[in-house]
Amino acid sequence: MNSVTAFLHCRRQRRKRGFILISSLLMLLMLSILTISMSKSFGLQELIAGNQREKIRALESANSALNYAEWWLNQGNASTGTNCTTTTTTPVVCSNALATPTTLPWVAGVSYTPPNMSISTTGGVGSYYAIPMFYIQYLGNSPNTGKYMYQITARGYGGDSGSVAVIQSIFEFQ
């Protein structure tokens, strides 16, 4: 091999190394962009999952209060009710309607703390923002069955003030 061909061979090798370097840098850039976009997506998914968890916790809290109110009515406490204007911890049937069930806090209702429920307005693992409440309103007798009809409205919070659920049911009792 003479010196001219050796020089050209060496120059071709450098070009190949330069092309490999440039293509490697482009691949690294594409992988970096992909990684950054995936990390932002994962962060958003974590926020969505956290919000969904708190929504479910609020719904379960309200559902426990509603179930307790139905159980309480089944224990022989069905009546036509009295006018309710304040909050209490003793279950009661009300003859008047809850003015705005979706406007919180309620001016009347029954606070009900399920067993082993931890309440903390500062949040924390396993704690709820506020005690669940329910409101039992006597609606009158059912025109079809003649049974007493009640509307039960319950509200519950998740871990913060922004996660709240309000649910209602109509309950018939003989």
Residue of 127, 132, 130, 95 whose CA lies nearest to 110:
132
pLDDT at 2: 64
Q: How far apart are CA 167 and CA 143, in angstroms?
A: 24
pLDDT at 1: 56
Handedness of CA 20, 25, 27, 28 (dihedral sign): positive
Give the Cα-Cα-Cα angle 105, 107, 112 (nearest 5 degrees): 75
pLDDT at 102: 86
Q: Give Cα 68 to chain centroid, integer Å.
A: 21
Three-class SS state of 76: helix
Per-residue pLDDT of the chain (174 residues; tens, 9 = 90+): 566 565 555 555 555 667 788 888 888 898 888 888 777 777 777 888 888 999 999 999 999 999 999 999 999 888 888 999 999 999 999 999 988 888 888 889 999 998 888 888 887 778 999 999 999 999 998 888 878 899 999 999 998 888 999 999 998 877
Residue of 128, 126, 130 whose CA lies nearest to 109:
130
Tokens 């050796």 belong to residue: 6
> What pTM value is reported for the model?
0.74
Q: How far apart are CA 82 and CA 64, in angstroms?
A: 24
**For the chain, domain boundaries:** 3-173
